[in-house]
Structure 1
């Protein structure tokens, strides 16, 4: 139950909302601290690659890493009076690392929580997954991933604007849709958008064909399911750790696109 509640909570918040980047904060009565640190060191998990998550309680600290490997994420849980826990996501498999009464590390694979099981255990020909994300990044282009939902009308009608801006700036534009929406909802929203595009003479925009279901677990772990639209900027084979939510002007969008792209280009 703790695992389920945690992931529901994490799907509603943004990452890295605090300044403290060190997950090695000691509670006075934390158990197995030495073994916990040893396990982290053995796996070469650098503390500077973790950000504290907002939404925990005063008894628990939760940290999530800024992964450099698509589809691989680590979360650290520290609770007062208890041994730490590690939740490891790799190749779309959840594993929990806990410490027993003798502080021995135990690894147990766990099934998806119910709300994720419906998404990730249902395969369709329109899925856009981590493999597609890796392929896009491998091209070493700069681009935009626009994540929309038919349930959020602004995210539907802002598709042409963002696509037009991305193309004008020389960015690859990749629209993907909320996998929780039904095919009828998606096609219905795109039909309305298409009619509006025809009236505005936007006949050549690829966004009207945006039926790719975003089942990238990596995007989920970046808290990309929080709100719609959500826009991710990629460049230099990486995704920027920050994302853009909501609708804004072309000027403000351009400023963020260019800033994020420049920051990624400067990373080696």
Structure 2
């Protein structure tokens, strides 16, 4: 297993432990950031843990909870980590389990590996894009050396590309009129369309493991919301493209906010 991937997995599991300590409390304080998104102590603790692991590699980090680095500096980076220490904070607050830790390594703007860990579900997804395989692992409570266990017991996942129906995955908390129109338009051309709602980057994972076929996103996301999921999906044949330009989503852009995009299978 790639050494960078091992460290990313270790960082995600350690962050998950910190997140669950807060999640299991009866009550925790929720702040509201300038962009109106929620923030909890779990976001902050997870970010600190992830940074402590990834900084050992000497590769710069773009994280939702880190201080933003100017593009004048970032544009010099050949590679970087893209991190969301707690994706799906709204789901975390609702306590429905659909939140994740997202870690991706990006080189020249393209995701090279991705790790998504859902600590409440004890489920880990990961992939190295160039190896064209993605994996899923159920994390036991008593893992001493997670990488040894993961190497031995992870299950390879793959898309479902032959089906009489199309499953469209939508956001648990961000379904909007444009997404509904996309689904209605699809229904006019397909025999049967089903909608699956899911929070956080788990939407990407549903595609990679064959539980859904399309992920249209019409609404604001940031690079840290998509980089790890894109790596996992691209490893198994999906494309992740902006709907207006048709270009593949790239990373470490001057503007870290994503335009509308569509994740679909290309083989």
TM range (shorter): under 0.3
Q: TM-score, normalised by structure 1?
A: 0.28
Please state which structure has a larger fraction of its residues in strand: 2
Q: Which has the greater radius of gyration?
A: 1
Q: TM-score, normalised by structure 2?
A: 0.28
